[in-house]
Structure 1
Amino acid sequence: MKRREFIGLIGGASVTWPVAVRAQELPIIGLLGANSSSTQASWTEAFVERLHELGWIAGSTVAIEARWAEGRSERYVEIAAEFVRMKVAVIVTSGGSAVLAAKRSTSDIPIIFATAGDPVANGLVASLARPGGNATGLSIQSPELAGKRLELLLELLPGLRRFAFMVNVNNPSTPAEVSEVQAAARKLGLEIDKLEIRRAEDIQQVLASLKDDVSALYVQPEPLTTSNGPQIGALAQAARLPTMYGNDANVRVGGLMSYAPRFSDLWRRAADYVDKILRGAKPADLPVEQPTKFDLVINLKTAKALGITVPLGLLARADEVIE
């Protein structure tokens, strides 16, 4: 099966291989997509492409079952339980809440996380060097990222004094992220309005409650905000609010700017972990790794819609400009 054909298949709720293929009892990779299939399409494509390079070809040497939670935390438990019943060889997912749901569902099936905030603090692993247990993968914990994002916002908006910070209070990574952003804001002399959400229906309400002196919106990078990127982008534009994100997916659907680890690279590296697991390695023995590539992405269409002129120096440093 060609890679492009496979990518088309995983856009649905699941991937079901022909009886003849399943009869071969291929190892099954359970892909628990915390976001929507369209939101993380480029990341998933990078994952599948790397698997192919390593000899794991969908429908030939491995089967892949994909399910999409679309940022709804209750779906994590349902999907993880389904994968346990299917006796998949490995579960691949991202984000602390999804990984925790998978870990609560099984202590035996290996779990690989393509991204996680602070896996030690969240109880996903015992330590970065020696994870222990059945989970390992890639951590995107990096306290300096909050400061870097706020510095970029200040470069774009020199008069910025107060910004809103949208967080999902149900995400286990939120307390650490809030502390990092608050510390960075104090250092830069900025004030914060924290916007707490728990579900998609809260987004419009919290944005409608913003005070007049809020000049920008900083959005926590996590599945609920990522899956609802189009809604957040549209509402922010209507409120004339420049936005800063922690992943590029939101910028591609109307956000203004992101500075973040290169998520497609993290998903490629997650495939390396899966390769080792399928060849007999144990998650407990595979150290948690950190990002090595970071991207600044700017959406000039959004900047134009907001009436913002992006400084040439900022554009020159951008890894990608969407026009």
Structure 2
Amino acid sequence: PVGARLVPSLKKPGGNVTGLSDMANIKEHLSLIKEFLPNLKTVGIPYNPGESNSVSMLAQVKKVAAEMGIKIIEAPAPRTSDVMIAAKQLVGKVDAIYTPIDNTIISAVESVVKVGIDAQIPVFAGDTDTVARGAVAAVGYDYFDLGRQTGEIVVRILKGEKAGDIDVKMAKGTNLFVNPKMAKRMGVSVPATVLARATKIIE
């Protein structure tokens, strides 16, 4: 919301705007990868440097990863036709690949999945839809639940609080999609703890 200039700050944004952001919870995503790979050291991220949303997300990933002791290796892919090349550049350099919510990468995510299978590098996603297309797992949002979270903010405004005085909230991920078949094809097994809390298992 700040990067898109919807609000100047997440804390008491002022004006007449507040709300709920569905920006990915990066720490939750990286923690999920670490559950699969406890000795995780490096994560590769193919991304389109011309897509502002992707650049913003990459900056967040790098910040959180540094706090968790994880090194991020970037693989720029300005066009859909560059996605496989970008993914191949990560082979031998990373323990896992993470595909952010990036239109260019998502359009050609099957290329990343193929590299993951061929090189035995598990591919994780920033969105749950990509799990059905071959990613090992992803944490995402239940948008019905996000509606409820947003409703809580609306109630506060209806009770008299000014929108600008209410902190912008970050959505909480409630969905966990897992694809055990693809995990096996990429050389990893799904931890029992992950299977136990999965909201959807792709057969």
Instruction: Report the TM-score, using the length of structure 2 for normalisation.
Output: 0.76
Q: Is 1:191 aligned to 2:71, yes or no?
A: yes
The one-letter code of the counterpart of 2:197 is R
Describe the shift of the 1:316–1:167 C-alpha distance in structure 2 as closer, same or farther (beyond 3 A).
Answer: same
Output the CA distance in 2 between the equivalents of 1:155 and 1:293. 16
Deviation, 1:226, is 2.3
Q: Which has the larger radius of gyration?
A: 1
Describe the shift of the 1:198–1:239 C-alpha distance in structure 2 as closer, same or farther (beyond 3 A).
Answer: same
The one-letter code of the counterpart of 1:234 is K
Contact 2:128–2:138 under 8 Å retained in 1: yes
C-alpha RMSD of the superposition: 3.0
Percent identity between the aligned chains?
Answer: 27
What is aligned with 1:158?
A: 38
What is aligned with 1:222?
A: 102
Unaligned 5+ runs, structure 2:
152-165
- Which of structures 1 and 2 has the larger relative contact order (alpha carbons within 8 angstroms, sep 6+)? 2
Aligned pairs for 1:12-27 within 5 A = none
Output the CA distance in 1 between the equivalents of 2:116 and 2:15. 42
Could you list the runs of 4 or more consecutive aligned residues of structure 1 that deviate by over 4 angstroms after TM superposition? 124-132, 263-266, 287-290
Output the CA distance in 1 between the equivalents of 2:143 and 2:104. 16
Deviation, 1:316, is 0.8
Output the CA distance in 2 between the equivalents of 1:188 and 1:122. 27
Q: Is 1:231 aligned to 2:111, yes or no?
A: yes
What is aligned with 2:4?
A: 122
Aligned residues: 185
Deviation, 1:221, is 1.1
Describe the shift of the 1:264–1:194 C-alpha distance in structure 2 as closer, same or farther (beyond 3 A).
Answer: farther
Output the CA distance in 2 between the equivalents of 1:137 and 1:227. 29
Contact 2:178–2:201 under 8 Å retained in 1: yes
Question: Residue by residue, what CA displacement relative to the aligned partner does 1:82-117 show, whole Å, maximum 9, x if unpaired?
Answer: xxxxxxxxxxxxxxxxxxxxxxxxxxxxxxxxxxxx
Deviation, 1:173, is 2.2
Output the CA distance in 1 between the equivalents of 2:114 and 2:14. 42
Output the CA distance in 2 between the equivalents of 1:234 and 1:263. 30
Question: Residue by residue, what CA displacement relative to the aligned partner does 1:295-318 show, whole Å, maximum 9, x if unpaired?
Answer: 111101101212322111121122
Deviation, 1:155, is 1.3
Q: Is 1:170 aligned to 2:50, yes or no?
A: yes
Q: Is 1:203 aligned to 2:56, yes or no?
A: no
| Aligned equivalent of 1:140, options 1, 22, 27 | 22
Contact 1:255–1:299 under 8 Å retained in 2: yes
The one-letter code of the counterpart of 1:308 is V
Instruction: Report the TM-score, using the length of structure 1 for normalisation.
Output: 0.50
Output the CA distance in 1 between the equivalents of 2:16 and 2:119. 44
Deviation, 1:125, is 5.8
Q: Is 1:181 aligned to 2:61, yes or no?
A: yes
Contact 2:123–2:135 under 8 Å retained in 1: yes
Output the CA distance in 2 between the equivalents of 1:126 and 1:185. 25
Deviation, 1:175, is 3.5
What is aligned with 1:258?
A: 138
Deviation, 1:254, is 0.7
